[in-house]
Amino acid sequence: MQKRIVASEFLGTLLLVFFAVGSAVVAVEYLGTVGIALAFGFTLLALTYALGPISGCHVNPAVTLGLYMAGRIHLRPAVERWAAQILGAIVGAALLFLLAKQIPGLETSGEFGTNGYEDRSAVGISIGGAFLAEVVLTFLLVYVVLAVTRKVAVTGFGGLPIGLALAAIHLVGIPLTGTSVNPARSLGPALFAGGGALSQLWLFLLAPLVGGAIAAYAHRFTHPCPNVPPEETEETEVTGDAV
State pLDDT tens for residues 115-128: 999 999 999 999 99
CATH of residue 152 = 1.20.1080.10
Distance CA 70, CA 103 (A): 44
Number of domain units in the chain: 1
DSSP string, 55-73: H----SHHHHHHHHHTTSS
Q: Which residues contact 15 (CB under 8 A, 6 or more apart)?
A: 43, 47, 92
Q: Specify if 86 maps to a domain.
A: yes
What's the one-letter identity of residue 243? V
Q: Specify if 117 maps to a domain.
A: yes
State the pLDDT at residue 242: 34
State the pLDDT at residue 232: 53
Distance CA 233, CA 1 (A): 9
Q: Specify if 240 maps to a domain.
A: no
Whether 144 and 161 have beta carbons less than 8 Å apart is answered as yes
Q: Specify if 236 maps to a domain.
A: no
State the pLDDT at residue 152: 55
Residue ranges for the chain with pLDDT beneath 50? 227, 234-243
Cβ neighbours around 239 below 10 Å, total: 12
Distance CA 19, CA 96 (A): 8
Q: Specify if 173 maps to a domain.
A: yes
Taking only the tens place, the pLDDT of each residue in 13-33 is 999 999 999 999 999 889 999
State the pLDDT at residue 79: 97
Q: Specify if 184 maps to a domain.
A: yes
Q: Specify if 54 maps to a domain.
A: yes
Q: Specify if 237 maps to a domain.
A: no
Cβ neighbours around 228 below 10 Å, total: 11
Domain span at 81: 3-101+109-231
What's the one-letter identity of residue 230? P
Distance CA 18, CA 66 (A): 24
Q: Which residues contact 137 (CB under 8 A, 6 or more apart)?
A: 169, 172, 173, 179, 181, 211
Distance CA 241, CA 222 (A): 20
State the pLDDT at residue 227: 47
State the pLDDT at residue 109: 74
